[in-house]
Amino acid sequence: MKNRIILLAFLTASLVLPAAAQQSSSNATDNGASSQSTREPLPSTTSKDFWDGDDPNFGNLIMHPFATKKYVQRKVNPIKDRINELDQLTSENAGAIKDVDTRAQQGLQMASEKSSLADQHATDATNKAQLAQTSATQVTARVSNAEQMVGNLDQYKGTAETEIRFRSGQSVLSKDAKDALDQMAGPLKDQKSYIIEVRGFAPGRGQAAMASSRRMADSVVRYLVTANQIPVYRIYVMSMGNAAVGAEGTAAKHVTSGRVEVSIMKNDLVNAAQR
């Protein structure tokens, strides 16, 4: 009986010491893992009692201190679960990193396309600005030329003059009058920068003299336009009636017979500018 008690005490001591060593090793491992990760540590494997889930029988009493298959599974399964969880987290992180990289590449591509488009718009704007500057320069040159021509409009000088005589009360051109007009208008063909002044004079008084001088002047204008193709816009007609006229330095005298004075005025400055 005494020997049985001693054997039972020895077996009990041999079972308690390995269990205490395993518990201490498990606590150290859990503490190291918790210091390296912010995740919740593995639960402690503290035994509720000596049997730690085993059936209280003689066989388990002998095999309990040793690493049986069931004991190993109880210890390894939580680690496997944590490894599986870490693999899942790693896969999710890899997917998130890939998604972020894809969006970053798309953002860079969009930024590059927008930058290219902005450069193209800037180039187009520069070209348009240069074209506008060229057009403005051309317009300025044309305006300057036009201003110069307008300033020269009053520089007309008489180059030829003739006088057409009419019989009293008539406005028909004679052969000598037509020949004189032909001789005057002939050199004007294809010429520019000239005008023709036609001034009609008639004896009489008031409106009657004005009307008569107008009829004679119209006869001259009609012949210049139809026979010599002088543009109408180059002819200026004035009905002087019985106005008193006289040469420079002489006394003015009233008209005693119907006549039309025809003068050609040219502007050499405009011709030079056009050339």
Q: Residue with structure tokens 């002088």?
A: 230
Q: Assign 237 to helix, strand or coil.
A: strand
Domain ranges of the chain: 2-66, 157-274
Whether residue 16 is predicted with pLDDT greater than 50 in this model: the reply is no
Whether residue 94 is predicted with pLDDT greater than 70 in this model: the reply is yes
Confidence of residue 138 (pLDDT cuts 50, 70, 90): confident
Range ranked top by mean pLDDT from 11-20, 58-67, 176-185: 176-185
40 or 120, greater pLDDT: 120
Pairing of strands 194-201, 235-241: parallel
Mean pLDDT across the chain? 77
* 43-47, 138-142, 218-222: segment of lowest average pLDDT: 43-47
Confidence of residue 234 (pLDDT cuts 50, 70, 90): very high
Task: Give pLDDT tens digits for 151-161.
Answer: 655 667 777 89
**Range list of H helices, 164-205:** 175-185
Query: What CATH class has 157-274?
Result: alpha beta
Q: Are residues 82 and 43 in contact, defined by beta-carbon separation less than 8 angstroms?
A: no
Sign of the Cα pseudo-torsion (167, 173, 177, 180, in order): positive
DSSP string over 112-144 = HHHHHHHHHHHHHHHHHHHHHHHHHHHHHHHHH
Residues 6+ away with beta carbon under 8 Å from 145: 273
DSSP string over 13-63 = HHHHHHHHHHHHHHHHHHHHHHHH-SSPPPPP---SSSSTTS--SHHHHHH
This prediction has a pTM of: 0.44
- CA–CA separation, 146 vs 143, rounded Å? 5
pLDDT at position 190 is 83
Q: Assign 256 to helix, strand or coil.
A: coil
Task: Give pLDDT tens digits for 17-71.
Answer: 444 445 544 554 455 444 444 556 655 555 555 556 666 665 665 665 555 676 6
Residues 6+ away with beta carbon under 8 Å from 212: 169, 171, 200, 202, 204, 241, 258
Whether residue 231 is predicted with pLDDT greater than 60 in this model: the reply is yes
Q: How many CB atoms lie within 10 A of CB 182?
A: 13
pLDDT at position 7 is 53
Task: Give pLDDT tens digits for 74-87.
Answer: 767 878 888 888 88
Residues 6+ away with beta carbon under 8 Å from 106: none
Whether residue 14 is predicted with pLDDT greater than 60 in this model: the reply is no
